[in-house]
Amino acid sequence: MTTTDLKWADVVFVMEPKHQQILQAEFRQFVRDKRIEVLNIPDEYKYMDPELVAMLDLEADHFLENLSLAD
């Protein structure tokens, strides 16, 4: 995660609450007005694990569908 990523993002997805806490501690000024969604996916997968990628896609799609229904 970089400050450039955070400046660009409207919503930030994290896997666990501890990831949210880290972002809020290390990038306080950049996440102050950002929506951070905790997906509650255990951080026990290897980088780009196909199962993890599928779960992230599913959860992000679910979030975006619910967001569009609320509009």
Return the domain boundaries, the chain.
3-70
CA distance 70 to 1: 28
* CA 37/CA 41 separation, integer angstroms: 11
Render pLDDT for 15-51 as a digit per residue (tens, 0 to 9). Answer: 999 999 999 999 999 999 999 999 999 999 999 999 9
Contact of 61 with 37, CB cutoff 8 Å:
no
Enter the pTM of the model: 0.84
Six token digits for residue 14: 């994290």
Identify the residue with better confidence: 69 or 60: 60
Written as six digits, the tokens of 43 are 């951080």
* 8 Å CB contact between 67 and 37: no
